[in-house]
Amino acid sequence: MANLPATNQLLFSAFVQRSVAGYPSIAFVSFEKTSGKSTAFRAFLHAVEGITAGITSLGADPANGKEAAIDGHLHFVKPGTVIATARQCLPYCEPTRTILTDTSVLTPLGEVILFRAESAGRVFLAGPSIIADAINIKKNLLEFGAEFVLMDGAGARISPANPRLSDGIVLCANLAPDIAQTQEDLQYQINLLQTRPLVDERLREICQQKQPAQFSFALVDQNYGTHLPYNGETISQLIETVEQQHQTIRAMYFSGALTDRQAEGLVKYAETNPALVKKCTLIVEDPTKLMIQPRAIASIQASPLSLSVLYPIQLLGIAVNSSTAGSGYDRITDFLKRLSTDCHLPVFDVHGGFFFEIPD
């Protein structure tokens, strides 16, 4: 963030140092395309001092490989940085390098290769888009000397926020000319990513058992009995079976995604069968499995149902791209300040050079 005022630069650097010290792997994710992920990633990388970085990208941008598109995806690295990138990106990487390992992880731009930069220079990143592959690459980066890993997200995907991959995330968003709309969108995204973790330890243990994960959903009754759709029952059919055993439903665990349609169906069912579904928690593995829009969230909140996750996401900060916001310095800074206050998170705008953090 070369254009940050000196005070902001110091605050931002402190925030980055604190983040990488506390969270060894950080992903930059967004719900929308071209939201400044790479810019925020670059700012983070630039601000880190005295600690060896490992970097990769989560996916290969379709534009990658074309000369004109490469400049926007180049990241300047210091000597010692460990880089994981696709083989076809190597010719575009400037540093003198040592090849550390090949990985057998394939991307559209070839196998992911790990190398150590022996000199400074710009590197071109493309990495795995499959989360399991990304987890392996992250482990490789740490094994080959990186002390923390930064992962540049690709496209409009929040799957890199998966807590199995990232210890922390930075949410990146565009600031639209209609600031009120941005605020509304961001509030929804932040709420979703910060869905509260499950506090009932007994329920957590049940959900973590192998057997519920083998089915698309599982029901847990008031006495913590587990009910699984062994015969391919729908949720409502299984609830009725549970009811015949004079039990009500304490929780519903979804081993995959929870969609709008499922959520709205359940809300409707809960409203029409209040005797069966009282104070029931809908549980998913982590917030990236919540494929639900604001309307569905609102209807859940207004119903006897609530949402919880087994593994929460650690949202470290919000990077806002103000280059799309139009004019109005005060308008933008007011918004960023308000956002930071409302969500109790550091908010920075690399383009405008702003950094806001409400002290504890």
Partner 1 sequence: MKFLTKAQQHNIGFDFVMAHLTPLTCYGKERKDAIDWYSAAEKPVLLRKLQQLQAFKIFFDKYPEDIAALTNILTRFKEIRGIIRQINAQVEPLDEVELFQLKNFAIDCQHLWQAVEEFQLTLLDHQLYSLHDTVTLLNPDDQITRTFAIDSRYATALEQIRVAKTEIEHQINAQPEPDKQLLNLHTQLTEQERKAEYQVCQNLTDRLRISVPEVANNITYIAELDFLIAKATLADAFGAVAPQFLDTDTIKIQEAVNPWVNDILNKDGKSFTPLSLSLNQGANVLTGANMGGKTVALATLTLNILLAHCGLFVFCRSLSLPVLDFLFYLAHDYQSVTAGVSSFGAEVRQITRMIEQMGDGRGFAVVDEFARDTNPEEGQTMVRTLLRLCEKHNSFCLLSTHFSKIVERDMQHLQVVGLRNAPLETLSPVRAEKTVNHLQEMMDFTIEAVPWDNPAPKDAVRVAKLMGLPQEFLDLIDDETWENAFGNQTES
Query: Can you tell me the distance from the alpha carbon of 293 to that of 263, in angstroms, rounded to the nearest whole number?
Result: 10
Q: Which is nearer to partner 1, 87 or 204 (CB)?
A: 87
Tokens standing for 54? Answer: 């490992």
214 binds partner 1 (CB under 8 A): no
Do the Cβ atoms of 174 and 34 come closer than 8 Å? yes
Do the Cβ atoms of 78 and 142 come closer than 8 Å? no
How near is the Cβ of 238 to partner 1 at its closest, in Å?
29
Q: What backbone torsions phi and psi does residue 157 show, to the nearest 5 degrees?
A: -130, 135
Q: Which is nearer to partner 1, 8 or 182 (CB)?
A: 8
Element (H, E) at 270: helix 260-272
How near is the Cβ of 40 to partner 1 at its closest, in Å?
20
113 binds partner 1 (CB under 8 A): yes
- The footprint of partner 1 on residues 77-96 (CB under 8 A) is 87, 90-91, 94, 96
- The footprint of partner 1 on residues 39-78 (CB under 8 A) is none
Q: Which is nearer to partner 1, 46 or 250 (CB)?
A: 46
- The footprint of partner 1 on residues 268-307 (CB under 8 A) is none
Q: Which is nearer to partner 1, 121 or 212 (CB)?
A: 121
Instruction: Pick from 10, 21, 69, 119 the residue near partner 1 by CB under 8 A.
Output: 119
- The footprint of partner 1 on residues 120-179 (CB under 8 A) is 120-121
- The footprint of partner 1 on residues 242-271 (CB under 8 A) is none
Do the Cβ atoms of 54 and 84 come closer than 8 Å? yes
Q: Which is nearer to partner 1, 136 or 222 (CB)?
A: 136
How near is the Cβ of 118 to partner 1 at its closest, in Å?
7
Of 114-122, 147-155, 222-230, 351-359, which segment contacts partner 1 by CB under 8 A?
114-122
CA-CA-CA-CA torsion sign (126, 130, 132, 133):
negative
Q: Which is nearer to partner 1, 6 or 275 (CB)?
A: 6
How near is the Cβ of 333 to partner 1 at its closest, in Å?
25
How near is the Cβ of 211 to partner 1 at its closest, in Å?
21
Q: Which is nearer to partner 1, 108 or 229 (CB)?
A: 108
DSSP string, 176-187: -SSHHHHHHHHH
Instruction: Pick from 21, 63, 99, 358 the residue near partner 1 by CB under 8 A.
Output: 99
How near is the Cβ of 59 to partner 1 at its closest, in Å?
21
Query: Can you tell me the distance from the alpha carbon of 241 to that of 136, in angstroms, rounded to the nearest whole number?
Result: 42
Residue with tokens 């040592």: 98
Q: Is 115 left (phi over 0), alpha (psi -120 to 50) or beta?
A: beta
* Strand, helix or coil for residue 126: coil
How near is the Cβ of 70 to partner 1 at its closest, in Å?
14
Query: Can you tell me the distance from the alpha carbon of 32 to that of 155, in angstroms, rounded to the nearest whole number?
Result: 7
DSSP β-bridge partners for residue 58: 153
Query: Can you tell me the distance from the alpha carbon of 174 to that of 350, in angstroms, rounded to the nearest whole number?
Result: 11
Do the Cβ atoms of 243 and 219 come closer than 8 Å? no
The total number of residues shown for the chain amounts to 360
How near is the Cβ of 334 to partner 1 at its closest, in Å?
30
What are the counts of helices (DSSP H) followed by strands (DSSP E) for the chain?
11, 19
Q: Which is nearer to partner 1, 6 or 199 (CB)?
A: 6
* Strand, helix or coil for residue 163: coil
Interacting residue ranges for partner 1, rule: CB under 8 A: 87, 90-91, 94, 96-102, 104, 113, 116, 118-121
